[in-house]
A and B are shown apart, each in its own frame.
Chain A
Amino acid sequence: MLVTTIINGLVLGGTYALVAMGLTIQYGIARIMNLAYGETIIAAAFLAFVLNGGLGIAPLASLLIAAPAGFALSYVIYGLMLRPLVRRSGGGAGLEVNSILATFGLLFVIQGIMLVLFGGDYISYSYMNFGVDVLGASVAANRLLALVLAVILGGGLYLLLTRTLWGTALRAVAVAPQSAPLVGIDANRAARFAFALGGALATCGGVVISMYQTFTASSGVIFTMKALIVVILGGVGNLAGALSAGLLLGLVETLVATYVSPGLTLAAVYHIFLGVLLWRPSGLFGKARR
Chain B
Amino acid sequence: MTATSRRAILRTLGISVCMFAVAAAAPAVSQGRTSVKIGYAISKTGPNAGGAGITTLPNYELWVKEVNEAGGLELPDGSRLPIEVVEYDDRSSAEEVVRAIERLATQDEVDFILPPWGTGFNLAVAPLFDRFGYPQLAVSSVTDKAPEFVQRWKRSFWMLGGGSDYTDALAGLLKKTNDEGKINNKVAMISVADGFGIDLVTAARPSFSEAELEVVYDVTYPAGTTDFTSMINEAAGSGADTFVAFSYPPETFAITQQAQVAKFNPKVLYLGVGTGFPNYGADLGPNAEGMMSLGGIDPNNQANTAYRKRHEEVTGRAPDFWGSVVTFASLQMLQEAVKRRGLDREAVSDELSNGTFETVLGEVKLEDNQLRKLWFGGQWQNGNFVAVAPVDREGVSQAIMPKASWQ
Contact = CB atoms under 8 A, between A and B. Distances in A.
Interface of A: 4-5, 8, 12, 15, 111, 115, 119-122, 124-126, 129-131, 138-140, 212-219, 222, 253-254, 257-258, 261-263, 265-266
A193 B41 CA distance: 44
Interface stretch (B2-10, B248-256, B360-368): B248-256
Contact of A115 (B45, B190, B219): B45
Contacts of A219: 47
A12 to B, nearest CB: 5
B321 to A, nearest CB: 15
Contacts of B263: 131, 138
Nearest to A211: B257
Contacts of A119: 49, 53
Contacts of A122: 50, 249-250, 253, 274, 277
A44 B250 CA distance: 18
Shortest 6 CB-CB contacts between residues of A and residues of B: A120-B49, A214-B250, A262-B221, A258-B230, A122-B50, A140-B261
B230 A115 contact: no
A254 B221 CA distance: 12
Interface centre among A4, A12, A212 (most CB of B within 10 A): A212
Contacts of B258: 140
A124 B234 CA distance: 26
Given A140-B261, A214-B254, A120 B230 contact: no
Contacts of B46: 218
A121 B54 contact: yes
B31 interface: no
Interface of B: 43-47, 49-50, 52-54, 92, 190, 193, 219-222, 224-227, 229-231, 233-234, 249-250, 253-254, 257-258, 260-263, 274, 277, 283-284
B363 to A, nearest CB: 33
Nearest to A12: B227
A222 B222 CA distance: 13
B80 to A, nearest CB: 31
Nearest to B264: A138
Contacts of B284: 126
A138 B49 CA distance: 34
A218 B226 CA distance: 16
A262 B219 contact: yes
A125 B190 contact: no
A283 B22 CA distance: 56
Given A258-B234, A263-B221, A111 B47 contact: no
Given A121-B49, A262-B225, 18 more contacts: A8-B230, A12-B226, A119-B49, A120-B52, A140-B257, A140-B261, A214-B249, A214-B254, A216-B47, A218-B45, A218-B47, A219-B47, A257-B231, A262-B190, A262-B219, A262-B221, A262-B230, A263-B193
B53 A120 contact: yes
B190 A121 contact: no
A246 B83 CA distance: 53
Given A121-B53, A129-B257, A265-B222, A253 B47 contact: no
Contacts of B226: 12, 15, 213
A115 B44 contact: yes
Contact of A126 (B193, B234, B283): B283
28 contacts: A5-B230, A8-B229, A8-B233, A12-B226, A115-B45, A120-B45, A120-B52, A122-B50, A122-B250, A125-B283, A126-B284, A129-B261, A131-B262, A138-B261, A138-B262, A213-B226, A214-B253, A217-B49, A218-B49, A257-B230, A258-B233, A261-B219, A262-B190, A263-B219, A263-B220, A265-B221, A265-B225, A266-B222
Nearest to B250: A214
A130 B261 contact: yes
Given A129-B260, A131-B262, A222 B224 contact: yes
A263 B222 contact: yes
A265 B222 CA distance: 8
A8 B49 CA distance: 31
Contacts of B234: 258
A216 B50 CA distance: 7
Contacts of B193: 263
Nearest to A215: B250
Contacts of A120: 43-45, 49-50, 52-53
Nearest to A255: B230
Contacts of A4: 233
A216 B230 contact: no
A138 B265 CA distance: 14
B43 to A, nearest CB: 8
Contacts of B257: 126, 129, 140, 212
Contacts of A124: 250, 253, 283
B121 to A, nearest CB: 15
Contacts of A130: 260-261
A12 B225 CA distance: 11
